[in-house]
A = this chain, B = another copy of it.
Amino acid sequence: MIIIMQPGATEEQVKNVIEHIEKHQLSAHTSIGVEQTVIGVVGENHDVSPSAFESLPNVQAVQRITEPYKLASRRFHPEDSCFLLDGFTIGSVEIPIIAGPCSVESRQQILELALAVKEAGANALRGGIYKPRQSPYSFQGIGEKGLEYLAEAKALTGLPIVVEVMAVSQLAAMVEFVDVLQIGTRNMQNFDLLRAVGETRIPVLLKRGMSATIEDLLMAAEYILAGGNYRVVLCERGIRTFEIATRNTTDINAVPVLKSLTHLPVILDPSHSTGHSKYVTAVAKAAVAAGADGIIVEVHQDPPHAISDGRQSLTPEAFAEMVIKVKAVAEAVDRHLVPSKILLPKEMNGVIHG
C-alpha cells in the first residue's frame, strides 16, 4: 500500500501514520516530496485493508499496489487451473458448452431438452429449480422434485448437471445430485452462501454480479477458494449500464482481463448478457474469440411458452447452429469444442414416455 499525505500534513501526522503501520506488524518507507509526503507500506498482507489508514488525520489517499485476492490471483498461481468434469475439462484447450432451459418445468420438458441439447453438442445441462424472480407473484421454480428430473436427464444423456443454489438451506439436497453449483448474479455477494459452497467440494460456477467490478468478482471467488473449494469457474453475464437496447451490456473486456488476473476458467453467458435470442450467437462467437473457456446458454423447445426467459432462449435448432458457428471460431483461435461422445441407440429407447 502507498499512503499519500495531504500537502501541509505535519511531521507528527506522518509519524502517527507510521505508528499505525507498525502496529500492524508492517514497516514504513517514507518519501518526503516538495509538496507531499508519501509513505510506502512494506510487507503488505491480506488482513490489513486501506481503510485502516484512510481516515487518519491528513491522509489524502491510500492506494493498494497488490491485489486484495490471493488464491484467485495468477501472480501466485501462474498456470491456468483446469478442472475435470464429467466427460470434459474446463480451463484447457477444449471449450465446453453448457445448455438448457432457464427453469426446469416438467419431467418431460427436461428429458426432451436434455436429449436435444446433447444431440446438438452440449456438454452439460443447466436447469433452474429455484428461480430468483423479481416479483413474488411470478413462478418461483419447481423446487426439489426438479432434482430428480435432472438426475433422470443425466442418466439418460450422460450430461453433468449445473443448478443454481439460492440459499444455504437448499445445499443439502443439491450436493447429492448436482455436478456444478451455480451462484447467480444476485447472490454473488451473499457471503454466507459463498462460504457454504466453499465448504463443499463441488465445482462452482460463479456468476458476476450485475454491478460487480472484476475485482469484486475475484473477491467473491476468494471466499469460495478460502474454504478449500478450488474448482471455481467465473462467468461473465453482462453488467448493468445506461444502454437499454439490450437487457445487459456484455463486458467482453472482462474475458481477457480475467484471464490475465486469475488462473480460474472464465466462461460467458450470452443469453443473459444480451437478453435477446437473436443476439446470442454473435456474442457467443465473440466470447470464444476473446478467449473464453466455455459458453453457458439458455435453450428451450418452445421459447414463447417458456415459463421464464423465453425471449432470450434459443430453440434446439438455433442452438445447434450456434454450436457449429462457435466451433469454427474456436478452431480459428486454436482451440476446439469438446469431442462428442457417441450416443448409443439403446440409451434413447422409449425413455420419455416410458
Chain A positions within 8 Å of B, measured between CB atoms, are 2, 4, 7, 20, 29, 31, 33-36, 38, 40, 42-44, 46-47, 49, 51-52, 54-57, 60-61, 63, 65-66, 68-69, 75, 132-138, 140, 166-169, 186-187, 189-193, 195, 209-211, 213-216, 219, 222-223, 226, 239-246, 249-257, 260-261, 273-274, 277-279, 282-283, 285-291, 303-304, 306, 308-311, 313, 325, 328-329, 331-333
Contacts and interface: CB of A to CB of B under 8 A. Distances in A.
Contact of A283 (B140, B256, B283): B256
Number of copies: 4
B68 A135 contact: yes
Contacts of A34: 42-43
Nearest to A313: B55
Contact of A136 (B61, B132, B223, B290): B223
Contacts of A57: 304
Contacts of A261: 245
B40 A29 contact: no
A244 B243 contact: no
A7 B251 contact: no
A54 B40 CA distance: 19
B166 A191 contact: yes
24 contacts: A33-B40, A46-B135, A47-B137, A54-B310, A54-B311, A60-B65, A61-B65, A68-B135, A134-B216, A136-B226, A186-B189, A210-B211, A213-B244, A241-B249, A243-B254, A245-B253, A245-B257, A246-B257, A253-B283, A256-B278, A257-B279, A285-B289, A285-B290, A285-B333
